[in-house]
């Protein structure tokens, strides 16, 4: 019986494991956390259910959509999207509406008009050049530059333009609401077309999808080992022979690695690769009052300490108890920062900002806060990332039975539907007998 060891129980690894288990593979999944789902898991605190940020199932790929529905079945509930952004001291819907113009200071309106008439063109492949060439320097100065520094701790001039292609463009979600230039953004704002994007969402959070995949793998004779961190990777010649945790040694025929790429580098002794991930601290607030806004998630481009806030009940009321609400507040961090080691020290500042922005009426409405530190949430696309990633993949490609997959394993800023689609394609190729190290899926198709 062919076997595969999958490191990381996120949606990519579990999708591959599920597809292979269906066809008789002996599947072992090793996960460092106590629950499955990876960045697509859900935190449960009694009747409160918080995802790791605003996750939802949305795809234009028929196969991925069918796969999601086949796993969730009657738990796949269709909901419309409603998201927003806070700019100029007010909340605005996204895609932007004409009201954003009324909120802008007159001086900025004139600067924006100038950007339309006198286009600036910066050379190079930086995020800074990409944004200024598309949207002008005014929007860059008032939103993109400060938001990027707050979120990533890097200037847009230090980042590759792929960060814009993967992140900014995807924020639109529905391709009918174009915002790929200042003119198209203005047209969307002044003449907004009705855009109703529908999501699929389970009653108790997106983590349910991963729970069901893991359950199916076990039912078909596989193993899903939780709370076990890989401490060593053994190799002989061009093959990975075993992985080790503190509790056991697992011999390997085939290895699918979906954990952070940098962790694998460390375990295999690959040195000198300049790739970096960003981590996030999630402050999950139980609020003893009904919600004040109906946005599912909101971006904050001002001086707030947080960059995004998600409201679970705006996805489905079943995620919170009746009469209450929840707020998932995201604060990005490096793991070497003091905020990472002492996250509770930021709680008073976060609560003050929530009150100041009107997300909650008063600090006393906070019933409880649960702080969750989630490492490796975003790959950072610095200017040199393509060269570094290409060199890294080439070096790891020497191991013929090793396949890299998913957001962390592929250093790929993607959505869940991309990981599911990649998992389905990779499973197909494994089942066809392709050499794991030679499997690729052109996984940057989203730009």
Task: Tell me the average pLDDT across 199-228.
Answer: 98
Return the DSSP state at 319: G
> Does the structure show a pLDDT above 50 at 283?
yes
Cis peptide before 95 (omega within 30 of 0): yes
pLDDT reported for residue 174: 45
Total count of residues recorded for the chain: 447
Give the pLDDT confidence of 16-37 residue by residue, as tens digits.
999 999 999 999 999 999 999 9
Task: Tell me the average pLDDT across 119-125.
Answer: 87
Which residues are 84's β-sheet partners? 93, 298
Residue 51 phi, psi dihedral angles, 5° rounding:
-80, 170
d(CA 170, CA 149): 19
Lowest mean per-residue pLDDT among 137-141, 247-251, 381-385: 137-141
> Does the structure show a pLDDT above 60 at 100?
no
H helix or E strand, kind and range, residue 68? helix 62-72
> Does the structure show a pLDDT above 60 at 447?
no
Give the pLDDT confidence of 252-280 residue by residue, as tens digits.
999 999 999 999 999 999 999 999 999 99
> Does the structure show a pLDDT above 50 at 416?
yes
pLDDT reported for residue 182: 47
Lowest mean per-residue pLDDT among 138-147, 180-189, 364-373, 394-403: 180-189
Which residues are 374's β-sheet partners? 280
Percent of the chain with pLDDT over 70: 87
**What is the sign of the dihedral through the CA atoms of 57, 377, 8 and 373?**
negative
Judge whether 15 and 27 are in contact, CB under 8 Å: no
Give the pLDDT confidence of 165-200 residue by residue, as tens digits.
776 655 544 444 455 554 455 555 545 555 567 899
pLDDT reported for residue 446: 40
Residue 195, SS3 per DSSP = coil
Buried b / exposed e across 222-236, counting CB within 10 Å, b at 16+? bebbeebebeebbbe
pLDDT reported for residue 131: 86
**pLDDT band for position 120 (cuts 50, 70, 90):** confident
> Does the structure show a pLDDT above 90 at 66?
yes
pLDDT reported for residue 173: 42
pLDDT reported for residue 92: 81
Lowest mean per-residue pLDDT among 175-184, 287-296, 318-327, 392-401: 175-184
> Does the structure show a pLDDT above 60 at 147?
yes
* Report field, pTM of the whole predicted structure over 0.85: yes
Distance, CA of 179 to chain centre:
21
pLDDT reported for residue 136: 83
């Amino acid at each position: 019986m062919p076997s595969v060891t999958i490191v990381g129980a996120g949606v990519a690894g579990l999708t591959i494991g599920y597809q292979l288990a269906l066809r008789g593979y002996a599947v072992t999944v090793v996960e460092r956390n106590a629950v499955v789902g990876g960045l697509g898991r859900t935190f449960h605190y009694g009747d409160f259910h918080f995802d790791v940020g605003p996750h939802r199932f949305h795809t234009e790929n028929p196969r991925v959509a069918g796969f999601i529905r086949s796993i969730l079945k009657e738990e796949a509930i269709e909901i419309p999207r409603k998201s927003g952004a806070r700019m100029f001291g007010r909340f605005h819907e996204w895609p932007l509406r004409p009201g954003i113009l009324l909120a802008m200071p007159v001086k900025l309106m004139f600067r924006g008009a100038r950007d339309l008439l006198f286009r600036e063109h910066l050379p190079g492949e930086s995020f800074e050049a990409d944004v200024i060439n598309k949207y002008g320097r005014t929007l860059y100065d008032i939103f993109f530059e400060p938001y990027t520094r707050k979120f990533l701790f890097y200037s847009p001039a230090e980042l590759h333009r792929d960060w814009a292609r993967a992140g900014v463009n995807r924020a639109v979600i529905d391709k009918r609401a174009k915002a790929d230039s200042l003119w198209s953004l203005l047209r969307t704002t002044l003449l907004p077309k009705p855009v109703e994007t529908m999501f699929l969402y389970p009653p108790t959070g997106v983590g349910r999808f991963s729970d069901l995949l893991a359950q199916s793998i076990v039912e078909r004779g596989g193993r899903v080992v939780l709370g076990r961190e890989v401490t060593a990777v053994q190799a002989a010649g061009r093959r990975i022979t075993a992985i080790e945790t503190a509790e056991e040694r697992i011999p390997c025929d085939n290895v699918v690695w979906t954990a952070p790429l940098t962790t694998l580098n460390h375990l295999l002794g690959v040195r000198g690769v300049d790739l970096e991930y960003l981590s996030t601290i999630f402050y999950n607030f139980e609020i003893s009052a009904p919600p004040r806004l109906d946005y599912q998630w909101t971006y904050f481009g001002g001086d707030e300490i947080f960059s995004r806030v998600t409201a679970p009940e705006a996805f489905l009321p079943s995620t919170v108890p009746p009469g209450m609400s929840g707020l998932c507040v995201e604060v990005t961090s490096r793991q070497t920062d003091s905020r990472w080691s002492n996250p509770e020290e930021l709680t008073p500042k976060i609560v003050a900002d929530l009150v100041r922005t009107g997300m909650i009426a008063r600090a006393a409405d906070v019933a409880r806060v649960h702080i969750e530190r989630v490492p490796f949430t975003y790959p950072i696309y610095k200017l040199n990332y393509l060269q570094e990633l290409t060199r890294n993949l080439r070096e790891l490609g020497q191991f013929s039975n090793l396949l890299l997959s998913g957001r962390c394993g592929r250093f790929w800023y993607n959505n869940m539907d991309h990981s599911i689609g990649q998992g389905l394609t990779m499973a197909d190729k494994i089942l066809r007998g392709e050499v794991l190290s030679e499997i690729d899926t052109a996984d940057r198709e989203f730009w």
